[in-house]
Amino acid sequence: MTLKILHMYPNMLDLYGDSGNMELLRYRLGKRGYDAEITAYTMGDGAKTDFESYDLIYLGGGADFEQQLLADDLLSCRDKIVNAYKSGVFMLMICGGYQLMGQYYKDSNGKKIPGLGLFDYYTVASTNKRERCIGNIVIGAELEGRKYKVIGFENHGGMTDNVKTPFGKVLFGNGNKFGSDTEGYFEKNVVATYLHGPLLSKNPKLADYIISYCLSRRQGSPVKLAPLNDKLEEECRKVMLGRLLQG
């Protein structure tokens, strides 16, 4: 089986090693004998792109400058992206990608960029450019009824409000706002989060959740993933969780 992934604006939204998440998915699929076909979406591709035909749509994080450049293009794809989401395509959105799926994003200069409005949340950046949530972060998420600590790094000036179903509870770090209890936005087929790092490298079980969702949806019946040798990943998590949660 081959998973079809649409990587949106990879040349503009790749601020914090975000393309690493794509490399990770390809790696974990490949180890199990599946392929990943990753299509790069660049500005102007809207008309020819069939968003619903993909298994996963991915948007990384970008700088304010790039986010403004692509806002109009993204809006022109609004209906197609909404349909893809409603039909169950998995949406993985990091930082800027997370913000742009909401109602709007007001940047530090007070400039309002309309979002796609897929979800009810909205984001406002402090007018003081120095006020940013920066640092390691750990959140407690729940994946298919099982608790899982998700580790990442956050670096955002935008404060996101009105999140109905957050991705997780903040155990260390800031989250959606300064000192927030919650982080990100979650639905069965949506992970929208400020965690980069890249997210999936630090959280192999989250990567597998996404992979197994996509494969099962494609196949029409549950797919059971073969376990991988995650010794290095688990050691890495142990070090970071030890440092951040017991420090």
Partner 1 sequence: MFIVNFFTILIGKILSGILHLLGKNAGNLPGLVLCTMRKNALKAFKIDCPIIAVTGTNGKTSVTNFIAEMFRKSGADIITNPEGNNLDTGITSLLLNHCSMTGKVKADYLILETDESHVPVVYSKLKLETLVVLNFFRDQLDRNGEVETLILKVNKFCKTFTGNLILNGDDPNVARLGLANPNNPNVKYFSVEKYKYATDTLYEAGEGRFCPRCGTALAYDYYQYSHIGRFVCPKCGYGNITPYVKLTDIDLQKPSFKAEGVEYATAGSTIYYMYNLCAVYAAAKLYNIDQKVIRKVFKSFKVNNGRMEQFEYKGSVLTLNLAKNPVGANMTVRMINECEDEKEMLFVLNDNLADGYDVSWIWDINFSIFKNVTRVVTSGRRAYDIAVRIKCSGYDEDKILVRPDLDDAVKELFSTGGRKFAVANYTAVQPTRAALNRFIKGEGAAK
Q: Is 23 a binder of partner 1 (CB under 8 A)?
A: yes
The answer to the question of residue 27 lying near partner 1 (CB under 8 A) is: yes
- 108 or 216: CB nearest partner 1: 108
Q: Which of 95, 133, 156, 214 is catalytic?
A: 95
- Residue 128 binds to partner 1 (criterion: CB under 8 A): no
Alpha-carbon distances, residue 136 vs 177, 199, 244 (angstroms): 14, 12, 8
Distance CA 22, CA 20 (A): 5
Q: Which of 135, 165, 178, 222 binds partner 1 (CB under 8 A)?
A: 135
User: Is 95 a residue of the active site?
Assistant: yes
How far apart (Å, rounded) are the C-alpha atoms in residues 85 and 65? 27
Q: Which is nearer to partner 1, 156 or 217 (CB)?
A: 156
- Residue 104 has a CB neighbour count (10 Å cut-off) of 16
Find residue 136's DSSP bridge partners: 153
Q: Which of 81-89, 95-103, 132-140, 211-219 is the region at the interface with partner 1 (rule: CB under 8 A)?
A: 132-140
Work out which of 128, 221, 229, 246 binds partner 1, going by CB under 8 A.
229
Nearest-angstrom CA–CA distance, 202 and 220: 29
Q: For residues 186 and 144, what is the distance between their CA atoms, to the nearest angstrom?
A: 12
Q: If binding is defined by CB under 8 A, does position 14 make contact with partner 1?
A: yes
245 binds partner 1 (CB under 8 A): no
Among 153, 185, 194, 209, binds partner 1 (CB under 8 A): 153
Only segment of 46-54, 83-91, 139-147, 225-233 that touches partner 1 (CB under 8 A): 225-233
Q: Please, are residues 90 and 130 in contact by the beta-carbon 8 Å criterion?
A: no
The question of whether 156 is a catalytic residue gets the answer no
Complex with partner 1: residue 115 or 204, whichever CB lies closer: 204
Q: Is 188 left (phi over 0), alpha (psi -120 to 50) or beta?
A: alpha
Of the pair 32, 132, the CB lying nearest partner 1 is at 132
- Among candidate residues 7, 77, 156, 196, the one labeled active-site is 196
Could you check whether the bond before residue 204 is cis, i.e. omega within 30 degrees of 0? no
Q: Verify binding: residue 168, partner 1, rule CB under 8 A.
A: no
Quick count: other Cβ atoms within 10 Å of Cβ 190?
21
- The β-bridge partners of 152 are 137
What span, in angstroms and rounded, lies between the C-alpha atoms of 124 and 215? 36
Given the complex with partner 1, which of 19 and 189 has the nearer CB atom?
19
Q: Determine, following the binding rule CB under 8 A, whether residue 103 of this chain makes contact with partner 1.
A: no
Rounded distance, CA 20 to CA 38, Å?
Answer: 13
- Residues annotated as catalytic are 95, 196
Site for partner 1, rule CB under 8 A: 11-12, 14-20, 23-24, 27, 63-66, 69, 129, 132, 134-136, 153, 155, 196-198, 201, 229, 231-233, 235-236, 239
